[in-house]
Structure 1
Amino acid sequence: MNTDIILTCAVTGAGDTPPKNPNVPVTPRAIADDCVAAARAGASIAHVHVRDPETGAHRHDTAYFAEIVDRVRDSDTDIVLNFTAGGGGDLIPELIGTADDDRQIRAAAGSDLQTPSERHAPIGELLPEICTLDCGSLNFGNAVYLNTADWLREHAALVRDAGVKPELECFDLGHVWFARQLIDEGLIAGDPLFQLCLGIPWGAEADPATLLAMRDKLPVNAHWAAFAIGRMQMPMVAQAMIAGGHCRVGLEDNLYLSRGVKADNAELVAKAVDIIQALGGDVATPAATRETLGLRGAP
């Protein structure tokens, strides 16, 4: 069991969740405020997506990330910032044409596709301490999250050369396998950091057997965390800790504090802290997190 827990709060995500819970932050100001609130509730890391302030839709704009950084730092509240670099992989395939020899597949409305260099743009300019690297493709609901092997190699090299710590997000066992390949090819610097992402249809299921199967495939020098979505979020806090890992909560993954009770990010962090402490552990400070993970600026 791990008793020194790095606790991440994923504050907003990319899904169409603001209509379902008004506490999901949308504007850069609101996202920054939730990063600060999560830190004050005990979180070590804030995982950050950005959204269109008018529509709430997922965006990639460097200016929005920069505003969040400035607001968090101006608050004098310390928290490690982890930017998503996984946007721009959403493919909704559409079949056009009628005859067998005339049919084509194209990206339908709602698709959001970027090259590795486009995904990396906010990271390369702002140099957060951590950014995500989603380690494969996935049937994501009725869409496809698209991330080919060569795209991942290119993206991993960009992150490595920027000196940012990649969080290797793995949604299935094959993603862990390919992350190990990136390590073997020298594309991941230092001790790797993994995030095991459970319960997303149609990836790895959110249960102890799947968690342990993925954990057992990690390199011996890996730091790792795990999370589950929806009602399995808090059970996975306990399961990840008992299995030797770190933990993640937040409105990106779950909108409820309990059945029918809509949460905010600080409440989810506080509930996770209670679970961690009840199991005999404690949550790492941002400073201790930097030292453990070997982040830029660590002593």
Structure 2
Amino acid sequence: MRNPTDKVIITCAVTGNHTTPAMTPHLPITPEQIADACLGAAESGAAIAHVHVRDPSTGKPSMELEYYRDVVERVRGRNRDLILNVTTGPGGRFVPSEEDPKIAGPGTNFLRPELRVTHIAALRPDICTLDLNTMTFGKEVVINTPSNIRKMATVIRGAGVKPEIELFDSGDIALLADLVKDGTLPGPHLVSVVMGIKYGFQPSQETVLYARNLLPAGTFFTAFGTGRWSFPAVAMSYLAGGHVRVGLEDAVLMKRDVLAESNAQMVEKARHIVEELGGQIATASETRALLGLPSRA
């Protein structure tokens, strides 16, 4: 975990799965827009850009390899130092049909675990997420069984990519402990504590401290909040010794009734919060050294 005197890593999650174009006209949709959002966030102080992709014609979330490739190549062509953290979250959602709950209904994207990491093996980003949650998500269920997680982790490890472990509740941390114990996830570990999903961790300083104290020794952690908790979570995570994350994946407002105009603007505000509290922001090069990631210069 970060010592109070160490520099703080800012991650920017630029588009995600759940924010919709109806929520904000500033949401990046096309690969070009997503890449530009990553680069703009980097200019404002983000060391890591978290990447999902969308269908350019509809704005809906996509799992298309070529969209991921387009984003990665555009970013790498202009900024090789920025750390790319690519999602593996899609492919774990199951929506029971109304007629027979064991049959998948509309909205299901449940896939074999190997297919959820095909783009990671192909593109070999610096980092990729690895979700440990099995939980109710609105009217849907997200399913990440231990066996499926182990299969995904094997592919990720084989690609030489560092997993960022996504934790949605305390049971996920218990699963993390098992995966560490059996060697599935060798350290040092990089994790995110996700706060604000209705049936998971709820945002509070107590949640951050509780989750932090359950993590393996030497873990680098970020606690982040969704919606109106996005910027308060920046302060909470920093004060608990963690790193920070913001972006249009997690929230669309700068403050009440004021839309964020860009991911870069959100990074600037997060940077301001950390610096006002006495912290210093880590550059991408410093973050690579801190997390043991190879240089791409």
TM-score w.r.t. length of structure 2: 0.95
Distance 1:64 1:233 in 2: 27
Change (3 A) 1:71 1:298: closer
Residue 147, structure 1, aligned to residue 144, structure 2: yes
How far the C-alpha of 1:39 sits from its partner, in A, is: 0.2
- Tell me the secondary structure at the aligned position of residue 36 of structure 2: helix
Q: Is the 8 A contact 1:40 1:77 kept in 2?
A: no
The corresponding residue for 1:80 is: 83
Pair 1:28-2:26 in alignment: no
Matched with 1:64 is 67
Change (3 A) 1:226 1:2: farther
Cα deviation per residue 1:219-243 (whole Å; 9 max; x = unaligned)?
1111111100011111110010000
Residue type at the aligned position of 1:155? M
In the other structure, the counterpart of 2:177 is: 180
Cα deviation 1:60-118 (Å, max 9, x = unaligned):
1111111111111222463100000111111111231xxxxxx5531111111111110
Matches within 5 A, 1:103-114: 105-114=102-111
The 5-angstrom pairing of residues 1-299 of structure 1 reads: 1=4, 3-76=6-79, 78-96=81-99, 105-263=102-260, 264-297=262-295
When residues 57 and 240 of structure 1 are mapped into structure 2, their CA distance, relative to the original with a 3 A threshold, is same
Q: 3-state SS of the aligned residue for 1:245?
A: coil
Of 154-163 and 4-13, deviating more is 154-163
Tell whether the 8 Å contact from 2:19 to 2:248 is kept in structure 1 after alignment. Answer: no
For structure 1, list consecutive stretches of 5 or more residues without a partner in the other structure.
Answer: 97-102
Percent identity of paired positions between Structure 1 and Structure 2 = 42
Q: Does the 8 Å contact 1:160/1:189 carry over to 2?
A: no
Alpha-carbon distance in structure 1 between the residues aligned to 2:296 and 2:28 = 29
TM-superposition CA deviations, 1:227-279 (whole Å, max 9, x none): 00011111110010000100000000000011111112011000000001001
Asked if structure 2 preserves the Cα contact closer than 8 Å seen for 1:2 and 1:244, the reply is no
Deviation at 1:3, TM superposition (A): 4.6
CA contact (8 A) 1:2 1:246 kept: no
Provide the secondary structure at the position in 2 that maps to 1:167.
Answer: strand
Are 2:52 and 2:86, in contact at CA under 8 Å, matched by a contact in 1? yes
The SS at the match of 1:71 is helix
- Distance in 2, matches of 1:176 and 1:190, equals 14
- CA apart distance, 1:2: 5.7
User: What SS does the corresponding residue of 2:89 show, helix, strand or coil?
Assistant: coil
Deviation at 1:296, TM superposition (A): 3.1
1:3-35, CA deviations, whole angstroms, 9 ceiling, x for partnerless residues? 510100000001142111011101000000000
Q: Is the 8 A contact 1:94 1:106 kept in 2?
A: yes
Contact in 2 for aligned 1:11/1:250 (Cα 8 Å): yes
How far residue 298 of structure 1 moved from its aligned partner, in angstroms, is 7.8
Structure 1 letter corresponding to 2:214: K
Q: How many residues align?
A: 293
Counterpart AA for 2:70: E
User: d(CA) in 2 for partners of 1:190 and 1:295?
Assistant: 13
Q: Which amino acid aligns with 1:138?
A: M
Answer yes or no: is the 8 Å Cα contact 2:85–2:127 preserved in 1: yes
Structure 2 gaps of 5+ residues are: none
Deviation at 1:40, TM superposition (A): 0.4
**What is the CA distance between 1:190 and its match in structure 2?**
3.1
RMSD between aligned alpha carbons? 1.5
